């Protein structure tokens, strides 16, 4: 008999499958905290929570029988995922449960924005009757540009098509076939933002998408464009949006999320063209029940040793295999993160080659780790369990191969990624007593410890180039912890990798790019 402990409010319908399972005992103790929670978790096989219960490392370590922690929702901020992973506890969430709810909320905001519904309501209940002040626009034949065409973006497109809108979408992983299936037009980012009468964002918030919609992007939009963000605060630069509305470039904005929540007395709220809601995308009865249903099913699968899909950490690996692969996990993840940040384009193909001792190992779990690490900088929903499925769904060809040529190392691996325009590779090994090392980047030999904040610079091997970089960074108070250079031949193409103590301000990055010998500069976080 499995004991499932539930410490946050969940409806009977949401956990119906658990309640009906003959091999499960459901214990509901809502609001359990402190010593009471520590006592109860000792005998639990599974813990089901929403956002209230804080699942700390102490709680996880007390769960001597604990196999799975399930979050009835998308985020896992209240769960110490690294601690769960370290103890071998699977953490699952429900990424699909609020898809319809968020798409519907976005469309409700779209209509409200087009017809000034919140503003008109406010004046009517105040005793006014000013019809001329709230003349709106029709959605019919207007162009909706969707930035990010995942689950929510595609559901939104269906609704927009029903209102006879012209839909264009930008997503690095959107294929022509999928666009045709939805009856929309696949567009580049610049095209999507320039043709939209309405622009809505549905991307994850990453280093690449933070302030994706900024002053420069607003300048490329149509005059009178209307903007929506029901995804993540920070994708739209809020100060730039304020300026664009004040200038008349943007006719209105509908926001469900903000960079800081709650936003307090935000400057945008002083503008009558702005409508806002308090992060209500997933706030429907159905969505809350759907996420509970989804995680209940996952819990049953995990407890019974059946296949499951929505883990946000490592899947369960046999102890013997885990012990053999453990030394290589950090190396694989670091190389994956490095190569994943080397390109901002959509990855079309990934090849991972194992050599030396690794050629004799069962390496499938390592390949999953590599996929998750490399693609996590482009895809928010990816995790160790669903990485192969997501890659296949996105049309990314993954090739795992083993080689007898170990390039002089006891164990060696190489990851190569290809996009429509370019390809990049990174190789690495383990040095006894020193840990992971990057040994080659794009065929340039190096010896780099993969950690910290790195500057990856491609340049011409000319006298004084390295000195100019060091002088420039020093003049800006940027301390260089380590530096590695690599070249194929004197005077030709070369690279340098610098570990610095802090990220570079944008103006310093731009100045660095102006150095004559430098061809490109990118920041890589490991």
Q: What is the pLDDT along the chain (526 residues), one digit of tens a residue?
A: 999 999 999 988 999 999 999 999 999 999 999 999 999 999 999 999 988 899 999 999 999 999 999 999 877 879 998 888 878 789 999 888 889 999 999 999 999 999 999 999 999 999 999 999 999 999 999 999 999 998 899 999 999 999 999 999 999 888 899 999 999 999 999 999 999 999 999 998 888 899 999 999 999 999 999 999 999 999 999 999 999 999 999 999 999 999 999 999 999 999 999 999 999 998 899 998 999 999 999 999 999 988 788 888 865 566 677 777 888 889 999 999 999 999 888 899 999 999 988 888 888 889 988 998 999 888 866 777 678 878 887 889 999 999 888 778 888 999 999 998 899 999 999 988 788 999 999 989 999 999 999 999 999 999 988 999 999 999 988 999 999 999 888 888 999 999 999 888 888 988 999 998 999 999 999 8
Residue 310 belongs to some domain of the structure: no
Query: Residue 340 maps to which CATH number?
Result: 3.30.1330.90
30 and 91 part of one domain: yes
Domain boundary among 420, 451, 482: 451
Residue 259 belongs to some domain of the structure: yes
Give the residue among 256, 263, 264, 259 at the shortest CA–CA distance from 240.
Answer: 259
- Say how many C-beta atoms besides its own lie within 10 A of residue 471's C-beta: 12
Residue labelled with tokens 């459901």: 26
CB 336 within 8 A of CB 369: yes
132 and 250 part of one domain: yes
Residue 281 belongs to some domain of the structure: no
333 and 465 part of one domain: no
Residue 312 belongs to some domain of the structure: no
- Say how many C-beta atoms besides its own lie within 10 A of residue 215's C-beta: 13
Q: What is the Cα–Cα distance from 381 to 203, expressed in whole angstroms? A: 10
Catalytic annotation, residues: 232, 261, 279
Q: What is the Cα–Cα distance from 284 to 288, expressed in whole angstroms? A: 6
Domain boundary among 426, 451, 476: 451
DSSP assignments along 346-404, one per residue? PEEEEEEEEEEGGGGS--HHHHHHHHHHHHTTT-TT--TTTHHHHHHHTT-EEEEEEES
Number of domains in the chain: 4
- Say how many C-beta atoms besides its own lie within 10 A of residue 60's C-beta: 23
Query: By three-state DSSP, how is residue 456 classified?
Result: strand
126 and 254 part of one domain: yes
Domain boundary among 393, 421, 451: 451
Which DSSP letter does residue 304 get? T
Query: Residue 93 maps to which CATH number?
Result: 3.40.50.720
Query: By three-state DSSP, how is residue 512 classified?
Result: helix
Q: What is the Cα–Cα distance from 517 to 493, expressed in whole angstroms? A: 10
108 and 253 part of one domain: yes
321 and 268 part of one domain: no
Residue 429 belongs to some domain of the structure: yes
Helix axes 506-513, 465-475, angle to 10 degrees: 160
- Say how many C-beta atoms besides its own lie within 10 A of residue 263's C-beta: 18
Query: Residue 464 maps to which CATH number?
Result: 3.30.70.260
Residue 146's Cβ-count burial label (10 Å; 0-12, 13-18, 19+) is: buried
In degrees, to the nearest 5, what angle opens at C-alpha 31 toward C-alphas 26 and 34? 105
By DSSP bridging, strand 444-448 and strand 480-487 are unpaired
Give the residue among 226, 165, 164 at the shortest CA–CA distance from 201.
Answer: 226
Residues belonging to the chain: 526
443 and 380 part of one domain: yes
364 and 492 part of one domain: no
Domain assignment of residue 513, given as a range: 453-526
Q: What is the Cα–Cα distance from 341 to 173, expressed in whole angstroms? A: 16
391 and 336 part of one domain: yes
Residue 308 belongs to some domain of the structure: no
85 and 172 part of one domain: no
Residue 309 belongs to some domain of the structure: no
Q: What is the Cα–Cα distance from 231 to 208, expressed in whole angstroms? A: 15
259 and 336 part of one domain: no
Residue 270 belongs to some domain of the structure: yes
251 and 109 part of one domain: yes
Q: What is the Cα–Cα distance from 218 to 212, expressed in whole angstroms? A: 10
Count each helix (H run) and each strand (E run) in the chain, helices first.
17, 22
């Amino acid at each position: 008999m499995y004991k499932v402990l539930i410490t946050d409010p969940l409806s009977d319908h949401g956990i119906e499958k658990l309640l009906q399972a003959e091999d499960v005992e459901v214990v509901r103790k809502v609001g359990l905290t402190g010593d009471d929670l520590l006592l109860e978790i000792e005998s639990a096989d599974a813990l089901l929570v929403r956002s209230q219960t804080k699942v700390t490392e102490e709680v996880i370590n007390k769960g001597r029988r604990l196999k799975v922690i399930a979050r009835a929702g998308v985020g896992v901020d209240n769960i110490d995922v690294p601690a769960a992973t370290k103890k071998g506890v699977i953490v699952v969430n429900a990424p699909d449960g609020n898809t319809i709810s968020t798409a519907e909320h976005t469309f409700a905001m779209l209509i409200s924005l087009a017809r000034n519904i919140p503003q008109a309501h406010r004046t009517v209940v105040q005793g006014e009757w000013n019809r001329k002040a709230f003349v709106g626009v029709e959605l019919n034949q207007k162009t909706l540009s969707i930035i990010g065409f995942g689950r929510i973006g595609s559901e939104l497109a269906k609704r927009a098509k029903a209102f006879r809108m012209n839909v264009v979408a930008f997503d690095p992983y959107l294929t022509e076939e999928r666009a045709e299936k939805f009856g929309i037009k696949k567009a580049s980012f610049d095209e999507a933002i320039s043709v939209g009468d309405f622009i809505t964002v549905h991307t994850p918030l990453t280093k690449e998408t933070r302030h994706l919609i900024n002053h420069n992007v607003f300048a490329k939009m149509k005059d009178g464009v209307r903007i929506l963000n029901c995804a993540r605060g920070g994708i739209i630069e809020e100060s730039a949006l304020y300026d664009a509305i004040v200038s008349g470039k943007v006719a209105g904005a509908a926001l469900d999320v903000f960079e800081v929540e709650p936003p307090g007395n935000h400057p945008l709220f002083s503008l009558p063209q702005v409508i806002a809601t308090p992060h209500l995308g997933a706030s429907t009865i159905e969505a809350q029940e759907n996420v509970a249903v989804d995680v209940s099913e996952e819990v049953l699968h995990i407890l019974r040793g059946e296949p499951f899909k929505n883990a946000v950490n490592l899947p369960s690996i046999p102890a013997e295999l885990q012990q053999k692969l453990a030394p290589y996990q950090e190396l694989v993840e670091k190389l994956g993160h490095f190569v994943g940040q080397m390109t901002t384009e959509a990855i079309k193909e990934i090849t991972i080659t194992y050599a030396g001792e690794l050629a004799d190992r069962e390496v499938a779990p390592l390949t999953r780790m590599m996929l998750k690490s490399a693609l996590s900088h482009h895809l928010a929903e990816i995790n160790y369990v669903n990485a192969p499925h997501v890659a296949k769904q996105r049309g990314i060809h993954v090739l795992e191969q083993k080689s007898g040529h170990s390039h002089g190392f006891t164990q060696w691996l190489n990851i190569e990624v290809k996009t429509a325009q370019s390809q990049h590779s990174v190789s690495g090994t383990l040095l006894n007593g020193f840990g992971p090392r990057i040994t080659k980047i794009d065929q340039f030999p190096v010896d780099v410890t993969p950690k910290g904040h790195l500057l990856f610079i491609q340049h011409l091997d000319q006298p004084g180039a390295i000195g100019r970089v060091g002088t420039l960074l020093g003049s800006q108070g940027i301390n260089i912890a380590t530096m590695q250079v690599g070249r194929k031949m004197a005077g030709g193409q070369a690279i340098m990798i610098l570990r610095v103590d802090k990220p570079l301000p944008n103006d310093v990055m731009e100045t660095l790019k102006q150095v004559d010998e430098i061809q490109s500069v990118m920041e890589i976080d490991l």
